[in-house]
Chains A and B, each alone.
Chain A
Amino acid sequence: LAKTTQPISMDSYEGQEVNITCSHNNIATNDYITWYQQFPSQGPRFIIQGYKTKVTNEVASLFIPADRKSSTLSLPRVSLSDTAVYYCLVQDAGNNRKLIWGLGTSLAVNP
């Protein structure tokens, strides 16, 4: 059963690249890794998903090493509007589809 661990909070400044790492040591072969973003007073929304190696979309990049025991969400050149909580999610395909959410990383982007 995969368990996820991520930093509680991070601080950054506008224009910087931010990397948030999630550890999932017991990830199973078929599990996907998904990251969600949550703004205050809103529900989480999908950012990016990967299985292995690197995935990039218009919002972020996701780096997953070969052993898949961690994943790193990379936000290029953050702005104030990227201030949010970021969740790492691993869905355990083999255990009644159990959803293992991280506790979330609260990112504060400062001017």
Chain B
Amino acid sequence: DTAVSQTPKYLVTQMGNDKSIKCEQNLGHDTMYWYKQDSKKFLKIMFSYNNKELIINETVPNRFSPKSPDKAHLNLHINSLELGDSAVYFCASSLRGRPGETQYFGPGTRLLVL
């Protein structure tokens, strides 16, 4: 009965590879987010989707491409992985994406690029 789930939990890969992280929420929320958390615990929002439509697109390299097949899923594809991409990636969701709404986070995907 996990609210926000992510797969895989751990991902170890070589530089230059392409990888995907999947996220699913069963809360019936309209809005989903991707965050990157670096080793210093800084949380940076990357993308936000509302009902499959991109609404927040922070300054991230275009090697990162989110895809939302439906409002319950938001996947993150990363091309040509670099060492600096090593981080924990969190997916989150909120009801309508309105200011002040509680965000519900997944357990995170720990990406290590070698």
A residues apposed to B, CB below 8 Å: 30-32, 34, 36, 38, 41-46, 49, 51, 85, 87, 91-93, 96-99, 101, 103-104, 106
Q: Which residues from chain A contact B56 at a C-beta distance below 8 Å?
A: 96-99
User: B102 and A42: CB pair below 8 A?
Assistant: no
User: B43 and A32: CB pair below 8 A?
Assistant: no
Flag whether B113 is at the interface (Cβ < 8 A). no
Residue in contact with B43 in the complex, picked from A41, A44, A92, CB distance below 8 Å? A44
Interface mask (B33-65 → A, CB under 8 Å = 1, otherwise 0): 000000011111100100000011000000000
Interface mask (B61-98 → A, CB under 8 Å = 1, otherwise 0): 00000000000000000000000000000101000011
Residue in contact with B99 in the complex, picked from A41, A93, A104, CB distance below 8 Å? A93
User: B55 and A97: CB pair below 8 A?
Assistant: yes
Known: A96-B56, A103-B42. Contact between A42 and B108, CB under 8 A?
yes
Interface of A is mostly: strand
User: A43 and B106: CB pair below 8 A?
Assistant: yes
Nearest CB to that of B6 among chain A residues? A43
9 further A-B pairs in the complex, CB-CB below 8 A; given A31-B99, A43-B106: A34-B100, A34-B102, A41-B108, A43-B4, A44-B105, A91-B99, A93-B99, A101-B42, A103-B42
